[in-house]
């Protein structure tokens, strides 16, 4: 049986489960002890996508003018969420279809309150 769940749809407790599942799957594929290191690399490589999917709040900040994509409209969006047991606030670059194209910055927080305070002043 296969169970599929997007990170954004999971509760905070289940998000930690998603990370544990990612690590376990990588250990099955690449051997014991490799899962955590590979999961960290995977998250780093796909950070923009994972953060976008894990967001619990978002706020449009304005248009983003990409230098190499002049006919492509992008927006800057502040996001706040929780991934792998840690709260974050980031500024994502998003296209008109809601697909992330990168990050302008990310900060981590130990509590939801700290993240909400930072999210409120992100511009």
In a domain, 1, yes or no: no
Domain encompassing residue 50: 11-121
* Each residue's pLDDT tens digit, 58-81: 999 999 987 765 677 899 999 999
The encoded tokens of residue 40 equal 């960290």
Query: Does residue 114 lie in a domain region?
Result: yes
- Which pLDDT belongs to residue 17? 60
- Are 46 and 22 within 8 A, CB to CB? no
How far is Cα of residue 30 from the mean position of the Cα atoms in its chain? 24
Q: Who wins on pLDDT, 4 or 51?
A: 51
Q: Is the model's pLDDT at 94 over the cut of 90?
A: yes
Count of structural domains within the chain: 1
- 19-60 pLDDT, tens digit each: 777 788 888 988 888 888 888 888 888 899 889 988 999 999
State pTM to two decimals: 0.75
Domain annotation covers residue 4: no
- The reply to whether 2 falls in a domain is no
| The residue to which tokens 């969006």 are assigned | 77
CB atoms within 10 A of CB 81: 25
Residue 6 lies in a domain: no
In a domain, 49, yes or no: yes
Q: Is residue 5 part of a domain?
A: no
């Amino acid at each position: 049986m296969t169970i599929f769940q997007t990170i954004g749809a999971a509760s905070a407790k289940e998000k930690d489960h998603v990370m544990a599942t990612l690590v376990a799957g990588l250990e099955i594929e690449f051997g014991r002890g490799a899962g955590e290191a590979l999961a960290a690399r995977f998250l780093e490589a796909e950070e923009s996508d994972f953060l976008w999917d894990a967001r619990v709040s978002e706020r449009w900040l304005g248009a983003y003018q990409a230098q190499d994509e002049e006919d492509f409209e992008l927006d800057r969006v502040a996001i706040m969420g929780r991934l792998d047991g840690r709260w974050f606030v980031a500024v994502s670059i998003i296209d008109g279809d809601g697909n992330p194209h990168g990050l302008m910055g990310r900060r981590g927080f130990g509590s939801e309150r700290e993240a909400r305070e930072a999210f409120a002043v992100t511009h």
